[in-house]
Amino acid sequence: MRQLKINFDEVQKAMEDVSRDSFDYYLDLETGEVMTFSEEILNEVQSRLYPDDSDEIEDNIEYMEFDEEPDLPEWMEDEIELVLEILLDENGQYVRIPERKRSLAFTSMAAFAETVEDPALREELLLSLDGKGAFRKFKDALLHRPGARKKWHGHNAKAMREEIIEWLTLLGVKPVSRLSGHDDRLID
């Protein structure tokens, strides 16, 4: 299993963006970089790769021509080029970062609620998990309790770290934590 330096916080933020209505995220399995792309860029590239909802990709992307040359800002051209590289990656260098499974998030919230010492807050958190809107109700219950909210974020980060390690292990990667301003350390 090969090692890869990653920033767990960046991967966690990507996984927790479960709606993916504005951005999507990819992990470079050579550098450990998390790349964020707007849905606008991704849709633009996909519409050019798959015109008329065709599933066929041009045999040689270097010779792909468009009906008309798009008038795009330079930054967008660079980003489109990178998205093309990622979507056409045949070497497995890039992998889309999956959304966190709702069941794992729910389990983490329930486990945290059980650890809360304040009986009233514990009961409120457990009740918030029942029925529709559980995620919102859980966050709302912690909204005006900064100490408990801080503990929740720590608990959630630990649970997410385990989920990220499990996901990367399935990809054949052993993560090394990339900490800004600190030494890198191996995650056991």
Residue 36 and residue 85: Cα distance in Å, rounded?
A: 14
Question: What's the pLDDT tens digit per position in 53-105?
Answer: 544 444 444 445 555 555 666 767 778 888 888 888 889 999 999 999 999 99
Residue 140 and residue 138: Cα distance in Å, rounded?
A: 5
Phi, psi of 159 (to 5 degrees): -65, -40
CA proximity to 57, closest of 69, 45, 41: 45
| Whole-number Cα distances in Å, 3 to 39, 77, 91, 183, 188 | 30, 32, 17, 15, 12
Residue 86 and residue 71: Cα distance in Å, rounded?
A: 22
What mean pLDDT comes out for the span 20-31?
A: 94
Question: What's the pLDDT tens digit per position in 108-144?
Answer: 999 999 999 999 999 999 999 999 999 999 999 999 9
Entry pTM: 0.78
Return the pLDDT at 77. 75
Delimit the domains of the chain by residue range: 19-96, 102-186
Q: Which one has a higher pLDDT value, 89 or 46?
A: 89
Three-state secondary-structure class, residue 23: strand
Q: How many CA atoms lie within 13 A of 43 on its CB side?
A: 7
Q: For the chain, what percent of residues have pLDDT higher than 90? A: 62
